[in-house]
Amino acid sequence: MINKERLLKHLNAMQTISTIDDVPGINRIAFTDQDWAGRDYLIKQLKELNLTLRYDEFGNVIGRYEGKNPDAPAIMTGSHTDSVPQGGNYDGLAGIAAALEVITDLKETNTHLNHPLDIVLFMCEESSRFGSATLGSQAMRGQLSRERLQTLCDKKGLSLYDVLKERGFNPDIIPQSKFTTPLKAFLELHIEQGIVLEKTNHTIGIVTGIAASTRYKIHIHGTAGHSGATPMNHRYDGLCAAAEIILATEQIAQNNEPIPVVATVGVIEATPGVMNVIPGEVTLGLDIRSISAEAKDRATRSILHAITEIGHKRDIPIDTSLIADEMPLMVKNTMIEAMETVAKNKPYNYMTLPSGAGHDAMNWGDYTDVGMIFIPCREGVSHNPAEAINIDDLVTGTEFLKDIILHLDKQ
């Protein structure tokens, strides 16, 4: 029987660990002391369950509940430990708490699976610190080169490579440390981070596809000048060029049919940033997402073409640097059908829907069958201190996760 009090215990403990005086919300930023304290707490829970633990050089952790056939491919479940700055307490953590509770329940009821069951704790899923998301699962999949580890930097100029070394890891071997353990399936429970489930009064969301992002830094090399003494027809205003780029990005995304694409300029850094100087150097952060790789690529090409045209028109040099280009995932019909079979047998109050946000699960689609479960979050709010769930929804989601694991174990 799934235990609500145990779920709350983990959520409350992690909330206490992740709170900083005078800073609202949850602050487990990747590889910070709060993130590491949360990781230590979760490792302690894995040890108390007597799971066999494995660690990699990125800090990811896997705890194994051995099956009757230790040579069978494992079923893996879990999520990420980190948060955005001033975030909520359920993003990522809900999936880990659910995985811990599933194994606790299996052990309490003396239920032994045929397949091993692995709980995974992914590091650095959020892009808040290094500008690129799902880095822990990418590291496990062998997708992070040494150059990329050195190129990805936080706002203080610290590279991911150096941060890993500070935590006692050897980042030089990460590119060669690809995960090779056979898997039967990867399952991730997560809050929806949207409003669909709540608005339609569904408790369970069976995810049909996971959107992925392409991200660029755009560097606009305008010319700073006196705001009063420089005539309008002699200006090379970097921020005006940026404004055109932002509006062009919005228009291109809005006109992308028939498969939806969303595009956001979420970062604007203008120099020197004072009222009486024409902005010269401007840097933008561009994020483009879709569940369709083709639609995302088409929109990206159009946006990059528009940036080039704006630069030519204004006679302002503009260059772009690619930060991330992730592959979206369409969940296999066989997995969706299996999840719907489980949902109908209970029955669970469910619907199918795509995920507009990226998740670690999407990096496993070329390695194993992937399934993703959504539970509602209040008013669709996430990445925000106001992020909230109904704990009974997490109990139901955890029961559904367990039922899917039992179903797949018999296949």
For the stretch 216-256, pLDDT in tens is 999 999 999 999 999 999 999 999 999 999 999 999 999 98
Residue 383 sits in a domain whose CATH number is: 3.40.630.10
Assess whether 219 and 151 both reside in one domain.
no
Ligand-binding annotation for 360, yes or no, is no
Can you give the pLDDT at residue 10?
98
Q: Provide the percentage of residues in the chain whose pLDDT is more than 90.
A: 96
Do 75 and 166 reside in the same domain of the chain?
yes
d(CA 186, CA 76): 5
Mean residue pLDDT across the chain: 97
Per-residue model confidence as pLDDT tens digits over 153-192: 999 999 999 999 999 999 999 999 999 999 999 999 999 9
**How far apart, in Å, are the Cα atoms of 409 and each of 67, 210, 295, 350, 406?**
10, 24, 36, 22, 5
Query: Is the same domain home to 198 and 106?
Result: yes
Are 51 and 175 in the same domain?
Answer: yes
The count of structural domains within the chain is: 2
Residue the block writes with tokens 């503009």: 318
Express each pLDDT in 121-163 by its tens digit.
999 999 999 989 999 999 999 999 999 999 999 999 999 999 9
Pick the last residue of a domain from 269, 298, 325.
325
The per-residue pLDDT for range 255-302, each reduced to its tens digit, is 988 889 999 999 999 999 999 999 999 999 999 999 999 999 999 999
pLDDT above 90 for 51: yes
Answer with the one of 325, 341, 376 that is the final residue of a domain: 325
Question: Is 215 annotated as ligand-binding?
Answer: yes
Same structural domain for residues 101 and 192?
yes
- In this structure, are 130 and 56 located in the same domain? yes
For residue 246, give the amino acid letter: I
Same domain membership, residue 98 and residue 61:
yes
Last residue of a domain, one of 325, 341, 362: 325
- Would the annotation count 305 as a binding residue? no
9 shares its domain with 36: yes
Partnered with residue 398 across adjacent β-strands are none
Domain hosting 269: range is 212-325
Residue 11 has pLDDT above 90, yes or no: yes
115 in a known ligand binding site: no
CATH of residue 262: 3.30.70.360
**Do 217 and 161 have their domain in common?**
no
Please tell me whether 54 is known to bind a ligand. Answer: no
Tell me: is residue 312 an annotated ligand-binding position.
Answer: no
Looking at the structure, tell me whether residues 21 and 31 fall in a common domain: yes
Contact residues for 201 (Cβ-Cβ < 8 A; gap 6+): 349
Say whether 91 counts as a known binding-site residue: yes
Q: Is there a binding annotation on residue 298?
A: no
Do residue 112 and residue 150 come from a single domain? yes
* Domain shared by 310 and 225, yes or no: yes
